[in-house]
C-alpha cells in the first residue's frame, strides 16, 4: 500500500499568549542576538498516510479532520498542512 507524506504546521492563534515564544524572545539578547521580535512557537508534525486508492482530496479531508480532532486545539491554535504529491 502506498503512502503520502504529510507535514502539519500548528501555530498559536494571534492574541493567544505563547509562553515559549516569550521565553525565547527574552533569552536571545543574553546570547548576543538583538533585534528579534514576534517569536511564536508551534508544532511541526510529519506523518505518512496510507492512500489505498483514495484521491488526494480524500487524504486532505482526512488530515484536516485529524488536525481538528487531535493534532491541534482549534480553540487556541491554527493549523495548515501540506500533502506531498
Binding residues for its own copies (CB under 8 A): 1, 3, 9-11, 21, 24-25, 27-28, 31, 33-50, 52, 62, 65-66, 69-71
Q: Taking the complex as a whole, how short is the minimal distance between the CB of residue 63 and its own copies, in angstroms?
A: 9
Cβ atoms 44, 7 nearer than 8 A: yes
Q: What are phi and psi of 37, to 5 degrees?
A: -140, 170
User: Which residues, 6 or more positions from 76, have their beta carbon under 8 angstroms from its beta carbon?
Assistant: 12, 13, 16
Q: Taking the complex as a whole, how short is the minimal distance between the CB of residue 50 and its own copies, in angstroms?
A: 3
Q: Taking the complex as a whole, how short is the minimal distance between the CB of residue 45 and its own copies, in angstroms?
A: 5
Amino acid at each position: 500500500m502506498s503512502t503520502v507524506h504529510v507535514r502539519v504546521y500548528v501555530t498559536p492563534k494571534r492574541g493567544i499568549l505563547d509562553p515559549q515564544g516569550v521565553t525565547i524572545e527574552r533569552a536571545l539578547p543574553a546570547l548576543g542576538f538583538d533585534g528579534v521580535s514576534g517569536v511564536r512557537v508551534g508544532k511541526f508534525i510529519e506523518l505518512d498516510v496510507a492512500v489505498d486508492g483514495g484521491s488526494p482530496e480524500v487524504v486532505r479531508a482526512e488530515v484536516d479532520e485529524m488536525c481538528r480532532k487531535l493534532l491541534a486545539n482549534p480553540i487556541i491554535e491554527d493549523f495548515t498542512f501540506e500533502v506531498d504529491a
